Amino acid sequence: MISASSLAAICILASVLAIRVLHRRSSQSSNLPPLVAIPDEQLFGNPRHAYETALKQYGKIIGVPRKNRLEYIVDQSFVAEVLTNDKVYSFEHGTLSMLNLHVLLALPRSFMHEIDRVVQDHIVSDLDDSVDRIAPVFDKLAKKLAAPVSSECQPIAVEIDSEVHRMMAEAMLTLILGRHYASAAHIASTERIAVAIATLTGIFENMSWWSRTFPTVGRTWNWLKVMFIAIPYHFVLGIGWQAFSELSAITDVARSDIRKEPVIMSFARKFIDKKTHRISLIDRIWILSVILGLIFASVHQTAVVIMWVVCELAKRPEYIQEFRTDTFTETSEDGAQRLTYASLQNAERLDSFIREVMRTKGDTLSTVRQTVSDTALAGYVIPKGSFVIPLATLANEDENHYGENAKVFVGDRWVGTGKPATMVSPNYFPFGLGRWACPGRGLAVAEIKLFILSLIAHANLSLENGEYRVVDPLNVTSVAPKGRIFLHPLFS
């Protein structure tokens, strides 16, 4: 009888051989980049070294098979070309296909364009209001985490990861759907939806032997499980049905107070039919689909980045006092002292720290594009429909750009440079680059600052043994690190 490990090895070998055959056949009519087969233990265990070594050995572009896909990896010299030339390298096709959501490309409307439109028109357009509405959620969690510490006078280990995901779920429900959605049941459902969609999009594939070995079977199973079980149960029957009912009741384009209206309502009014004064059934379903995608992206991704910043700050607690002295609060309309978007913008040292975390946390294959036609690049021809991915570590730590200490974490590196954490470039693209750079990065960085400043207002941080563990070296962008965080009480 063939063992499971032997069967897996046979399947992997067959996949590599099949890709090599296709690659060789294609190369008869075009000049393709060299194909490099990287063993799984290197690919998933130390991807940075594996990819950088292969690029150094074979040239600026290489083809690498990974989980039944052939991906073309390019070095830092092609970042601007690949990520900004939308006519040749498609963001929508690359991102949706890589996230196992290619079915959305067949829709008559652009899903990615719609999400971009919602963020730009209804969130980023008034960040003062957006931050003001969610700030109490962040302050509430900070006080909750610090509460057991202040009474016991001893450092205490806290499970910040799960609390941060719960906090982000409540904040996004409040901002996008309204404060009345932020019930315990809805918050729990949103957390489960975020995890389910993350599973669907393959974010956790690298950590599963089954998904790495049988990727097609794994993707199919996850798709069926999420689309027919998780989303209907955790979204449609609860949050979705309530929002659907509220959308059905909208009959007027006008609104009484735009600053108090949830994102979904101001967005939905654009779909009101001028004749019937109603939103059609199809449009209501479309609105809910877009909102579902927006909630996932804002909850999961931001929570992951917050955890990276928390772990790095707990590892480097000497920066905490600087952040406190660099911050001030403002008086809100109700007379309370709280952080506002304006005060967050003035937290320059924390902003520099966040940018440095984003630059050095080890992103590898973080931003993907897909060719829309056979494309010439550096003397090679990349076939239509191919994934093209810049190796982010080479760009983020390029000594030609950052100098001899490019690989060194310098928390105040960006103070006084006029380069905030939200400013992207070919040598810094954790939020993407070009037309499709993350439209919500301003809110995301503000949320990171909100949590960090709220937390250090009540306690100092430390990290057990001064180290954290990188769970998935190939996907640090979407998988948070693990470390035991301690809070230390502050006494006035």
Binding residues for heme: 438
CA distances from 240 to 69, 190, 246, 263, 356 (A): 35, 11, 10, 15, 38
126: DSSP letter: G
- Please identify which residue in the block is written with the tokens 């579902």: 292
d(CA 405, CA 425): 19
Q: What are phi and psi of 160, to 5 degrees?
A: -70, -35
d(CA 429, CA 92): 17
* Nearest Cα residue to 409 out of 303, 311, 343: 311
For residue 163, give the amino acid letter: E
List the beta strands (DSSP E) in 353-443.
Answer: 369-371, 375-377, 380-382, 387-390
Q: What single string gives the DSSP state of each residue in 6-21?
A: HHHHHHHHHHHHHHHH
β-bridge mates for residue 74, sequence order: 61, 390
Contact 241, 288 (CB under 8 A): no
Contact 130, 123 (CB under 8 A): yes
Residues written for the chain: 492
Q: Which two tokens stand for residue 207?
A: 């950590």
Q: Which value, in Å, is the radius of gyration of the alpha carbons in the chain?
A: 23
33: DSSP letter: P
CA distances from 94 to 218, 321, 413, 434, 454 (A): 20, 43, 33, 15, 37
d(CA 222, CA 296): 16
d(CA 385, CA 200): 22
What is the sign of the dihedral through the CA atoms of 146, 148, 152 and 156? negative
d(CA 169, CA 182): 8
d(CA 122, CA 119): 6
Contact 453, 140 (CB under 8 A): no
- Please identify which residue in the block is written with the tokens 């490990």: 5
**Number of other CB atoms surrounding residue 373 within 10 Å:** 11
Q: Which two tokens stand for residue 100?
A: 């196992």
Contact 376, 439 (CB under 8 A): no
Residue ranges of the annotated binding site are 438
Element (H, E) at 80: helix 79-84
